[in-house]
Amino acid sequence: MNIIDNDNISKVLEILKIEIKKFTVPIVSEVAADRDPYKVLISCILSLRTKDEVTKKSSLKLFERADTPVKMIDLNETEIQQLIYPVGFYKTKAERIIEISHKILEEYEGKVPNTIEELLKLKGVGRKTANIVVTLAYGKPGVCVDTHVHRISNRWGYVTTKNPIQTEFALRDKLPEKYWIEYNDILVTYGQNVCVPISPKCSICPIDSYCPKIGVLRHR
């Protein structure tokens, strides 16, 4: 059986880096283009359990009104709810955004923390979001793992893990560090468009010959 391991991971990722250029990049990566840690953090929070197109519209609407912690706390929860609707759990997220903005101002001198350890102290921020902020906003090494990264890494046989947190630490041990930051973008984009959860589009996949398709029951 074919398997993707460190003998061919570089070749596979270089192929996919070219392939994903035909697709739209994840909204958080789009927001991160200007390296604004606060906007990256807030867009990550909005993106949780929400489709990219919804996250994009809601992020743009919110940032038109408030793109810094100072501006954000001038809004009340109801205003934020209205701006970010219909993202998933919009009421809870509005509350979290206000809380996080206050904490950044009160405990971090208005600057978003630049370490995973400090970011995890912000209510509602998990390892996925912390890694995205550290990597995309600050350009520091980190491995962001969402459902696509977890699924595809296991589908390839590159790791054998049960959840995204296990996958993150397995990748930190195995994946060449030069790919850490871009690994998430590559796999998320590919996972949304080709290597989808159910019935992946293997017939059009340029790395099909490398992939063992672990756990795939049917494919197109």
The catalytic site residues sit at 128, 146
Ramachandran class of 145: left when φ > 0, alpha when ψ lies in -120 to 50, beta otherwise: beta
How far from the centroid of its chain's Cα atoms is residue 207's Cα? 22
Half-sphere exposure of 181 (CA within 13 A, CB side): 12
Six-digit token string for 37: 């840690």
Please, what is the angle between helix 90-107 and helix 37-47, to 10°? Answer: 150
Residue 76 burial by CB count (10 A; 0-12/13-18/19+): exposed, middle or buried? exposed
- For residue 3, the SS3 value is coil
